[in-house]
A and B are shown apart, each in its own frame.
Chain A
Amino acid sequence: MSAVEKMTPAETRLARLTLPEGFAPARRAALERLTAMGLPGRRDEYWRWSNPTDFIAPEPPAAAPFQDDEPDLFAEIDRLNIVFRDGVFDAQASDDLSMSGVEILRLAEAGDVNWASSLYGTLEADGQTPVKRPFAALNTATATDGVLIRVTGAAEKPVSLVYLHEDESSDPVLHHLVKLEEGAEITILENGPAGARFNMLMEVDVAKDARFHHIRVQGRDHERRAVTGIFTRVAEGALFKSFTLTSNGILTRNECVIDIVGDDANAHVAGAALGDGKTGAFHHDDTVFITHDAERCESRQVFKKVLKNGAQGVFQGKILVKSGAQKTDGYQISQSLLLDEDSQFLAKPELEIYADDVQCSHGSTTGAIDETALFYLRSRGVPYEEATALLVLSFLADAIEEIEEERFRDAILTRLEGWLSRHRG
């Protein structure tokens, strides 16, 4: 046997990595980080419940593009569209990238823009301790495209990243930077499956008193796989808010690493996930790490999962309160609604607190449909399937409430109602 054949999939993957141009020092450093930590195995504590094999494989498992019959859920919203087709920027389909208060560049064409060079890979690198995040390092090293967004004022409209998936073996790696200068505000929308296997990383630097909003919809493809990371640093008086709706996906791991470094800042991250595929076709993992390193800050984690047909939901959420972070208010809730007995929810909430004057709470629940509420609805004439659908919406409501702006909440609700109406039987 030749030497090549003896390599493990992880070794093969690492050996094949190539670093695109631009941000060369950051990419080389990321590759070194990755080589040092290695790709994860099942024995890694943070990969016990989600199998990383398909993320590691040199080639992505094929995923048939899903024929989405629904209108774009943000269609009603005036926004600046940036389209990626299997991870490749599509200028034709995208809007002009100019907007007042915002500078937008394409990663693949930006060269080493000063502000971007000093940000690219830095928040990801900071987020590698105490927990290793190999796919994020891999992303920094190898990302082929993405957008670099610098916000200097109040963005005129949301920037909407549209991810199309057409090639059944596409393997896009996108890296976005969002830098909000003092007092700036922007909403970033993400929508679509992006590819057969998608690795997305977003580094978000939120300066003093700036406000960042993020609403993401991960598409209805059953076969897609995605490993995503959002790494953010939140400064004094700033706000970071991120919400993700995931419908389907055979394997999704969404990581969010938040460093609150300025006093009086807020960080909220929420997710609603639900799957309707064949047996075992839905595995969804939310992994969150929030570090409080400043005073009087508030963080919230609200995650809801609706599981059926042998679906698996994973939540790993941590709040770390450093010794100086007095008056921290940390809240975390993760809940699952099991629609049958084959599904499974695994949750690991963690609190690590080194300050004495803090208020932190966490809870995790798993349960079935509330029979009393179901009967109440049916006694009013609502048929079983529809009543169940309403109770699913009811269950997800707390997560959706985390979206600040009503128009986005409504868009998400419309998408969910469409999803549920297909299950009315």
Chain B
Amino acid sequence: MLEIKNLHVKLEEEDKQILKGVDLTVEKGKVHAIMGPNGSGKSTLSYVLSGRDGYEVTDGAASLEGLDLLEAEPEERAAAGLFLAFQYPVEIPGVGNMTFLRTALNAQRKARGEEEISAGDFLKLVREKAKSLKIDADMLKRPVNVGFSGGEKKRNEILQMAILEPKMCILDETDSGLDVDAMRLVADGVNALRDEGRSFLVITHYQRLLDHIKPDVVHIMADGRIIETGGPELALEVEKNGYADLLAKHGISEVMA
């Protein structure tokens, strides 16, 4: 599904290398997790994959089912099935959440040569998905993410994911800032979407999310690279011992990480 090879990325504006050779393959239907200390480049990876400006790929490649991601516009990547749940969802005053969702869904359908969804079908779809995420009518009417609590913003990301039905979902610290109940809702939302045709890349700082969203593979990222890959037990190990031993093993100082 998602194939990343030797990805090197620096900031466009500064001479700062952030990703230093990331290799990662996420197979169809699998859930991969990336853990790692703050500043290791996890968000950068998710942004580069989804096409945010400000980064320069100096080497390597990334593709989604054969589509060269790095050459495509962000909207083309989305239409091809890539979705990023943002670590910091963006507020858009003056644009209603419903308008936003319908515009996005129809734009993707149009890009894929499909018909636009009817107003009635759309309403039904949103109501159904919103209900399971405990998103009320008021949240749907309000401008995108404006005045939403941290938890509401994250649930709104999952709602978008549920409606857009992407093939490759990247979740960037969707658990951060959530209390246990909110995390449960988010995890249930994600689990409801698990499907043999859909893959996930779950970026998290804490292992607790992985209690709810069981990963197939766990990667540890530090200093712009994947330094370790294993099964769910790797996450438990990090939870117990922290990153220090792993970093030391790979000769990375905590400051650099």
Contacts and interface: CB of A to CB of B under 8 A. Distances in A.
A380 B94 contact: no
B90 A381 contact: no
A387 B52 CA distance: 14
Contact of A378 (B74, B86, B93): B74
A396 B143 CA distance: 13
B92 interface: yes
A378 B73 contact: yes
A394 B92 contact: yes
Nearest to B95: A394
A166 interface: no
Contacts of A386: 103, 107
Interface residues of B, number: 31
A363 to B, nearest CB: 15
Contact of A384 (B73, B91, B105): B73
A378 B79 CA distance: 10
A397 interface: yes
A376 B86 CA distance: 9
B94 A394 contact: yes
A375 B74 contact: yes
A378 B94 contact: no
B94 A382 contact: no
A74 B120 CA distance: 26
A371 interface: yes
Interface residues of A, number: 23
A391 B95 CA distance: 8
Interface string A213-246: 0000000000000000000000000000000000
A24 interface: no
B92 A378 contact: no
B111 interface: yes
Contact of B94 (A372, A379, A384, A395): A395
A398 interface: yes
A390 interface: yes
A386 B108 CA distance: 12
A397 B83 CA distance: 28
Interface in B13-58: 50-53
A381 B108 CA distance: 5
B79 A375 contact: no
Contact of B90 (A372, A390, A395): A372
A381 B53 contact: no
Contacts of B103: 382, 386, 390
Nearest to A417: B99
Contacts of A391: 92, 95
A377 B90 CA distance: 9
Contacts of B111: 381, 383
B160 interface: yes
Interface in A279-301: none
A393 interface: yes
Contacts of B92: 373, 376-377, 390-391, 394
Nearest to B88: A372
Interface string A25-57: 000000000000000000000000000000000
Nearest to B46: A379
A383 B107 contact: yes
Contacts of A382: 75, 103-104, 107
A397 to B, nearest CB: 3
B138 to A, nearest CB: 17
Contacts of B86: 376, 379
A381 B94 contact: no
B160 A381 contact: no
Interface in B103-160: 103-105, 107-108, 111, 143, 160
Contacts of A398: 93-94
A414 B160 CA distance: 25
Nearest to A390: B95
Interface string B213-227: 000000000000000
A399 to B, nearest CB: 10
B69 interface: no
A51 B79 CA distance: 48
Interface of B: 50-53, 73-75, 77-79, 83-84, 86, 89-95, 99-100, 103-105, 107-108, 111, 143, 160, 164
Which 4 pairs from chain A and chain B are nearest by CB?
A: A397-B94, A381-B78, A381-B108, A394-B94
24 contacts: A371-B53, A372-B90, A373-B90, A373-B91, A375-B53, A376-B89, A376-B90, A378-B51, A378-B75, A379-B50, A379-B52, A379-B74, A379-B75, A379-B77, A380-B107, A380-B108, A380-B160, A382-B107, A383-B111, A390-B95, A390-B99, A394-B92, A395-B94, A397-B93
Interface of A: 371-373, 375-384, 386-387, 390-391, 393-398
